[in-house]
Amino acid sequence: MAIKNVFVIGAGVMGNGITQVIAEAGYSVTMADIKDEFVQRGLAAIGKSLDRKIKKGTMTEDEKATVMGRIKTTLDNNDAKGADLVIEAAPEVLELKQKIFKQLDAVCKPDAILATNTSSLPVTAIADATRRPERVVGIHFMNPVPVIKGVEVIPGAKTTAKIVAASKEFVKSLDKEPCEAKDLAGFIVSRLVDVLMNEAIRCVEDGNKPEEVDKAMRLCCNFPIGPLELCDLAGADIVLHGTETMYAEFGERWAPAPLLKSMVKEGKLGRKTGRGFYDYTQK
């Protein structure tokens, strides 16, 4: 089935980035959220991101207008009824995602593909909220969406090979590369990156200075960003949530570092609260 109309649920960090790259690839796309102010904030973020391209000389004002013209917005997920592909990017709460997929199941065309952008919840558990789990798949974009080339494609237990293939084709049409991952906590990327961040936090517990840990990984391993800087960027609460999810699935080897837990308790979440491993209040 040819994908022409895409419906994105959530206008937050991921939802607006996903909407942007889909519109840039020439699709007609609708971005949904629960409040108009969230939709407007999402649209403004897309506008700003495209303005950066204009500044860099990789996009013209006319092209920006064409891309923005492909984006519609709504506050009603029932408007997904005409969509060929729905990508859900609502908050990382299983019950909420299951509720959304139940609603999508009731309104969407029988041949629509229903995708979730979840970072760590089981795709199968989300798919099983519908009567068509064979058409539900994980399409996991990375943050920032317009920049990162790789996208994880995660088949649920019942997802058909046809839906997986169509999802990969769609990802390629956005000039991105699909990486197929098993439906296990953290898939591939979060599973490996969270383990690195957790162990970097244990290095700090053992007396290493955060700036030395990050410098070592940037200069000795050619990482573009240190693991503790990455933790501050993602948010300690998000990293703890991911680590706990994987601890539940993989056991002892995944126990969150005690320092990570105490930082979350103290509100030292990283950039978003002004303090994490580093101080952002002066920057």
Ligand X SMILES: NC(=O)c1ccc[n+]([C@@H]2O[C@H](COP(=O)([O-])OP(=O)(O)OC[C@H]3O[C@@H](n4cnc5c(N)ncnc54)[C@H](O)[C@@H]3O)[C@@H](O)[C@H]2O)c1
What are the residues binding ligand X (CB under 6 A)? 9-15, 32-34, 38, 77, 89-92, 100, 117-119, 142-143
Longest CA pairwise span in the chain (Å): 57
Query: In the complex with ligand X, which residue's Cβ is closer, 89 or 259?
Result: 89
Least distance to ligand X, CB of residue 30, Å = 11
Instruction: Tell me the closest approach of the beta carbon of residue 240 to ligand X, in angstroms.
Output: 13
Beta bridge partners of 259: none
Least gap, CB of 150 to ligand X (angstroms): 11
- In whole angstroms, the minimum distance from the beta carbon of 189 to ligand X comes to 9
d(CA 78, CA 75): 9
Q: Which single residue brings its beta carbon nearest to ligand X?
A: 12
What Rg do the C-alpha atoms of the chain give, in angstroms? 19
Side-chain-facing half-sphere of 151: CA atoms under 13 Å: 30
Q: How far is the CB of 74 from ligand X (least distance, A)?
A: 9
Q: Whose Cβ is closer to ligand X: residue 268's or residue 271's?
A: 271
Of the pair 85, 203, the CB lying nearest ligand X is at 85
- Residue whose CB is less far from ligand X, 33 or 84: 33
How far is it, in rounded angstroms, from Cα 186 to Cα 86?
22
We find the least distance from the C-beta atom of residue 222 to ligand X, in angstroms, to be 22
Measured from the CB atom, the residue of 30 and 118 that comes closer to ligand X is: 118
Closer residue to ligand X in complex, CB, 90/181 = 90
